[in-house]
Structure 1
């Protein structure tokens, strides 16, 4: 049977879209094409890509993006804004510490607003696209990007219901259903979750809910229209964690909450839409046109430790923590429109797989921020004036909340459009060459709503990329890649000039192999970026875009099935990320020296998960376990304060009661180790969850 006939046959037999690769063995069936992919199999891509599929995610028992990313040793947690957003670094580099880490959803930029931590309900898989991606995606971090691929509607009826209970008053329910509505023309899918949970943290409770409906309409042969909605609400008390007392992290119990329960939770809402039209122009060419719009809002009060040493009573008596009182109302609107043409043709002795695309991105960030700060300790303020709390014997509600005053009322608007092209050419059976580039034109307008001052900045950038793959054998290949990119900084300097964007360069060399059921990738990389925001040494409270940073390291990822039927997931990373130029930290005002490590980035990290299915007494059982090791990390810039290393062990088991009903049990942090997830300063340290057990019932129909 010819390849074209086989592809056509699969397309008729299964719902969705068939992507034809270079041989019969590389036919991939998907619900909708992914942008920026261009029909190139992941195995032929000159970069390291980690895919967390449903099997890996279910065995790990994760329900939030931050927990899922722990499975990749190259991704480490950063300051999570009191539990209100996702923040991570890939290969040592994070984005703006005052904004959540951006991620993609089906290739659309989607994580830049204030909608709260991302839940995994409705997510089919997570792709961690490491290395130089900017020539396609644009405006990203050089370490890589995270792409969430959602579950697509199917014309085959299916569904599931999941209920989970666990320690610390965890109650969670999930629903997922899909099926046809109008014969083979229209299919819908509805996924959603509700979670009510306590915490190991005193007085901290969270309420989260979300629904993710979607529809797929077949307009004709080779043409489909899809729509997805995201609607979530999260109510989470703002929690900066614990404080270090004279450098001792465990001087306080991990449960100690140092905010005010009376502040109530912060509320984070997100409402997003995605619309995509896919049309196959021929067997070899396809057009993908799409648009997305996402509105997010974060609002509420919080009581947080004061970081300025001159205002902090804790440094005087060792127990009275001076606090700020804050009110935030952050709103963000993010819109994307894009069109992409992808295809393949033979010319000049090679098979060309081409992507041509254009997009327009708008991001409006409105911040209204009120703040009270305690006075200088040199003025001998009273406990009430310092809004203090006794860290060893806290009395919540001891003082009435102080009156905050206006700190920020501004609107930052970014508009950018870009065009990109990529051509990956296969010459014979062994060598592939990728050439690509992206041109971006962008403009940022910052409006100070207090004094009416408006500043504008515009520029354009070209981001090239080049990569090569050499196939040593059908099961092994080596590759090399180089790319450049940029990310626009928000805000302006003391003279009202909008900051220059961060610029980056990255290079990586890698080996990919697929032997005996195991897929492995070994990568060596080096990254650098400039125009990182730092404090202005002359104008207090302002920043300059003059910082520089470097990161280099080695990664190893292995997944698949070992002899004996053991499913294995292994990820290891050695990363050396450091400052390359003396600067002043924009947040603390402390001097950072060249060679100082970047915050929250361990030199070594490891994630291991293994499981095996079998029968015990006639019952189908899966038994498994996992280990996560994170090395020592710098916990505060321009200091010697460190977070200790930790090693967490997880055990889990699944019992298939029937072909449709599964009962799962898990114990996280089996040895009840004290650990710390991330920090921003020695007074803002997030403790990790102690030992916790959970029970999950999942019914599929």
Structure 2
């Protein structure tokens, strides 16, 4: 059960930390010896992955999952999801919480295997209450239902255990950064009842002008034992994010990708904001009635409200006639998004043997419902200041505070409400015979989208497959291959008969193969993978225009995109005190079929936006054996890309470093991001908003006391 695994992992982590820190024992010499021989070993190793829904050791499964565990999150001082992407081969930033994964834009996140992302729209997931992050690469339709063929993020939250521990942390850094966190986990009664409570607060000015961020997370849970073989885990979390001078877009660039404004330039006024409030209640039952049968049932409810008032860049222009673009038209937007969702999932695993054949059968069902309300009103300015309209803003000498949204001639709010229902059932069979492990799975989904404002409604179904084969060449070396499918329903607004609808879902299909290793007694854990993904049935404009003569230009679905690539991942104990992680990806994503007239969404010519050919990241940590001190260095390289407008997004290489000191119950982390203060674009968007600038060099110190 997950609870037992969490207890074991937590106990092991505390034992290593206590030993390395030199806590008092009856034999100081033994403590010193353990520090020398084992402090850094296996810090970032992964023993089991769960996102494949059949828990398995990495070498015993044909799926490709990359895991970021608590040790790596802590050593890198990671606060949100964007801090982690460099550790995952084939994943780079697209925008906000969205990424490019194996060439495709991907924006949906799962929590504990369930849909229902509490960070709606334009906020990035925070990591305070996250134990680890798993990224399932490639199409995941058979396991998780509709989604991108690039992969799926699954955030695994911290759960209460009966192992008593507590910690308090404080942080201070540049850009006015300060904050703290506290959490306590432990038994509430002698019968195994356990609880956890945590609080996180952090405030900082952003690197962009006027921008700031205040984040609050309150997280609580209890684990209720139901006999010796079952646990009920109840959790409740509240998230608050108050982002000053947001929503943040990019900084304008020329066609070669050079910023034409300072990287700290902000199109927003000091009074602009984006505020998020989100509440989550979650229950999970985990049971193992006997050694042959186990099951889990989970339910997740989320209510989130995101409100924002901001100035959107709407067009660059030359304000003084010297031939150089130097100002931006702005549009003021007043918007709110409210979403309420309910997610449910159940899985049962039956294990048995038929002679020499070992068998595991997974049966599962999941359901997701979301009600989404969107209110919006806006007014667009001009190239000159006009009463009642947002004034333009200079790129070189911006003057803030001259705009007053209370004087704008705003229209009435527009309103839309949609309902989305997804449900699916699946079977996955795993057979082990000698050195071979074979899996085959089938899933049936139905989905329904309703636009309550217009009355438009669309429903359909899809069937997806997954199959894989593992050959255990040796206990520490496996070869594997898999075939998997994905699908994504077309949006309800594009299903009307007037535009040629309804349309079949966009589909994805992948072939993948590679090798996985745990060489030298598990000191070297790595994989080398090659894949080929074809995505079909993308909607585009019909080159014939208004086919039915009803006044609406038609759509047609016959686009195709092909993604090919190679990925290499490594986590190694180079010495007993020196560890290294390395991630490299080569990807070639191209449009292989279109109508010759209309660009496919997120594409530029025959390439996809923000899809680099080469991407690499590393992290290495060396533990000084005597001084309770560790030093760590990380690097992130992303190759040249194109923005959605075809502008060059220049390649970059940045470095980060951590200095970690541990003594007794104390831990101090000194972290420096963008060590050489490189000016770079993390990703591109459209020309009127520019590229998203990477953060300048920043430094913070975090001190933690544990009990």
Partner of 2:216: 209
The answer as to 2:516 corresponding to 1:508 is no
Cα contact 2:317–2:326 (8 A) shared by 1: no
The answer as to 2:71 corresponding to 1:64 is no
Cα contact 1:241–1:687 (8 A) shared by 2: yes
C-alpha displacement of 1:73? 2.8
**Mean alpha-carbon deviation: is it higher for 388-397 or for 459-468?**
388-397
User: In the TM superposition, what are the counterparts of 1:298-317 in structure 2 within 5 Å?
Assistant: 298-307=306-315
**Partner Cα distance (1:550, 1:13) in 2:** 43
Query: What secondary structure sits across from 2:144 in the alignment?
Result: coil
The answer as to 2:129 corresponding to 1:122 is yes
Cα contact 1:321–1:389 (8 A) shared by 2: yes
**Partner Cα distance (2:213, 2:398) in 1:** 21
Cα contact 1:47–1:510 (8 A) shared by 2: no
User: In the TM superposition, what are the counterparts of 1:301-700 in structure 2 within 5 Å?
Assistant: 301-307=309-315, 318-347=325-354, 349-374=356-381, 387-401=391-405, 402-405=408-411, 408-428=414-434, 430-448=435-453, 453-493=454-494, 495=498, 497=501, 500-516=504-520, 517-534=523-540, 538=545, 547-563=559-575, 565-580=577-592, 581=594, 582=596, 584-585=598-599, 592-593=604-605, 595=606, 597-615=607-625, 618-637=626-645, 639=646, 641-656=647-662, 658-684=663-689, 685-700=691-706
Partner of 1:143: 150
Partner of 1:196: 203
Aligned counterpart in structure 2 of residue 277 of structure 1, from 281, 285, 301: 285
**Partner Cα distance (1:232, 1:321) in 2:** 34
1:420-451 deviations in whole A, cap 9, x for unaligned?
A: 000111111x1111100100011111123xxx
* Paired residue total: 652
> Root-mean-square deviation (CA), in Å?
3.1
**Partner Cα distance (1:59, 1:535) in 2:** 49
1:354-393 deviations in whole A, cap 9, x for unaligned?
A: 1001121112222112122346x7xx98698573111111
Query: What secondary structure sits across from 1:281 in the alignment?
Result: strand
**Partner Cα distance (1:371, 1:13) in 2:** 52
**Partner Cα distance (1:55, 1:213) in 2:** 22
The answer as to 2:252 corresponding to 1:251 is no
Query: What secondary structure sits across from 2:628 in the alignment?
Result: strand
C-alpha displacement of 1:248? 5.6
Give the 3 Å change call, closer, same or farther, for CA 532–680 of structure 1 in structure 2: farther
Cα contact 1:636–1:642 (8 A) shared by 2: no
Cα contact 1:328–1:368 (8 A) shared by 2: yes
**Partner Cα distance (1:671, 1:11) in 2:** 41
User: In the TM superposition, what are the counterparts of 1:145-160 in structure 2 within 5 Å?
Assistant: 145-160=152-167
TM-score w.r.t. length of structure 2: 0.86
Gaps of 5+ in 1: 1-6, 18-29, 81-85, 96-100
Query: What secondary structure sits across from 2:188 in the alignment?
Result: strand
Query: What secondary structure sits across from 1:136 in the alignment?
Result: helix
Cα contact 1:627–1:647 (8 A) shared by 2: yes
1:613-663 deviations in whole A, cap 9, x for unaligned?
A: 123xx52110111111111111124x2x1111110111211111x221011
Cα contact 1:333–1:365 (8 A) shared by 2: yes
**Partner Cα distance (2:74, 2:116) in 1:** 24
Give the 3 Å change call, closer, same or farther, for CA 14–254 of structure 1 in structure 2: closer
**Partner Cα distance (2:271, 2:542) in 1:** 37
Query: What secondary structure sits across from 2:609 in the alignment?
Result: coil
Cα contact 1:468–1:481 (8 A) shared by 2: yes
Higher relative CO (Cα under 8 Å, sequence separation at least 6) belongs to 2
Partner of 1:3: none
**Partner Cα distance (1:543, 1:53) in 2:** 45
**Partner Cα distance (2:417, 2:5) in 1:** 48
**Partner Cα distance (2:695, 2:648) in 1:** 19
Cα contact 2:51–2:134 (8 A) shared by 1: no
Cα contact 2:177–2:204 (8 A) shared by 1: yes
**Partner Cα distance (1:515, 1:15) in 2:** 22
Give the 3 Å change call, closer, same or farther, for CA 11–563 of structure 1 in structure 2: closer
**Partner Cα distance (1:304, 1:316) in 2:** 24
Cα contact 1:410–1:446 (8 A) shared by 2: yes
Cα contact 2:59–2:477 (8 A) shared by 1: no
Query: What secondary structure sits across from 1:342 in the alignment?
Result: strand
